[in-house]
Amino acid sequence: MWLSDGRRAVRARVGDRRSARGRRGEKGPGVTVQPIAGEPARRRRPHRSGGALALLLGSMLLLVTACGGDEADGGKASGKAGSDRAASQAEVAIAPKDGADGVATSGALEVTAKRGRLKSVKVTDPKGNAVAGKISGGGASWRPSGHLGASTEYTVDAVAVDAKGREAAEHAKFTTLVPKNTFIGQYSPENGQQVGIGMPVSIRFSRGITHPEAVEDAIKVTAEPSVPIAGHWFGNDRLDFRPEKYWAAGTRITVRLDLDGVEGRPGVYGTQAKTVAFTIGRSQVSTVDARTKMMTVVRDGKKIKSIPITSGAPGTETYNGQMVISEKHPVTRMNGDTVGFGGQYDIKDVPHAMRLSTSGTFIHGNYWSGRDAFGTRNASHGCVGLFDVRGGGDASTPAAWFFDHSQIGDVVIVKNAHDETIQPDNGFGDWNLSWEKWTAGR
């Protein structure tokens, strides 16, 4: 009979057998069993004694205990193998702590190791871009090479090893601060532009900079072919870059603005991460002689044209010095009120005008002075004039020719004028500073 409890059912079956044996005359161990009269004798099956079963169960228990020995003692078996698997003594510490928010973009990130040395440190932003850094102190610490970006989550994975080469690792994430006040840099020339040999890289900042070293370190200007390039600050909102001499024709210049997260002044952070590139075209330098009233145009080292000019009249002389064409206008308006000359002139259709200074110096077409003025007398309010016709529609005039054969970044030098040398920050007068003064900084 089967019972609901399996073990009791087994006992029930065993009891039934014992009852049957009793009916057949079987007795306990050591007693002869007699078959029932009239029933044929059967071969008895041999059965294991209780001692054999206990031996088998004991062996299985011993096997299970031996197999579980490593777990029972935490995996630390005696002998050399267990020693090799012992925990590393090295410790890795990451600052800031995991989950930190509002972290400063400079000076806050550091990874250190104790009782060991750093083997590797990897810091990445959400796009997988790695943060450059350096392990120093024989593996004692790691710091980033520059600043971090603002409003960015970074992931840090660091590994250190102890004296036995056993590794210890740490992982952390943190987010940098969200700036309330920001600044940008407005740069020239434009990306992809071709310019003349005198064009500097000029960056004007939307806020005055009081941490100039941090900002300048975040801007990289390189040239191909390579040439030494240095930056120079004009005030606290303009930073220009140039080589010692004019750029070589065909040079390619690359500007990398890594300003995102740079603290330009207390609590004011940059937001730009941008790369721009431009190329230098052919070489052209035009020299205006205010005494002879002639301009000589030299391209790629060869004189290609001489043009009669008129420059500033007595009392309104043209600046001396090296200037750079920064704008070109087929026609523009020139009003004396804008440059401090009151109502002395207001010409609404000045043709072929090219700016040489922020203060209002141009080299342009002139149709109102009469052709005989060019090459014979200086009659302007400080600009350099070339003969032209009203509207600038005659391509054969000297002004039209010069306009068509000039580009942004070309150099115009004025000499022998009865005035001072133009200031280096007036337009792109950068080249009027010696290399020694340029590299001295501000």
d(CA 384, CA 353): 10
Q: Are strands 384-387 and 411-415 parallel, antiparallel or unpaired?
A: unpaired
3-state secondary structure of 65: helix
What six digits make up the tokens of 81? 């193998």
Place of tokens 């009239």: 38
Is 364 part of the annotated catalytic residue set?
yes
Tell how far CA 28 is from the center of its chain.
94
d(CA 243, CA 231): 9
Is 383 part of the annotated catalytic residue set?
yes
* Residue positions counted in the chain: 442
Q: How far is CA 321 from CA 411, 420, 433, in A?
A: 10, 8, 10
Place of tokens 């840099």: 185
Angle, CA 198 vertex, CA 194 and CA 202 arms, to 5°? 80
- Cβ pair 366, 386 in contact under 8 A: yes
Q: Which of 147, 352, 364, 381 is catalytic?
A: 364
Q: Which of 147, 352, 381, 383 is catalytic?
A: 383
Q: How many CA atoms lie within 13 A of 55 on its CB side?
A: 5
Residues 6+ away with beta carbon under 8 Å from 370: none
Q: How many helices (H) and strands (E) does the chain have?
A: 7, 28
DSSP letters for 304-346:
EEEEE-B-BPTTSPPPBEEEE--EEEEEEEEEGGGGT-TTS-E
d(CA 46, CA 297): 125
DSSP letters for 214-253:
HHHHTEEEEEES----EEEEETTTEEEEE-SSPPPTT-EE
Q: Looking at this protein, which amino acid is placed at residue 25?
A: G
Q: How far is CA 146 from CA 94, 110, 123, 171, in A?
A: 17, 12, 12, 21
Q: Looking at this protein, which amino acid is placed at residue 269?
A: Y
What is the set of active-site residues?
364, 383
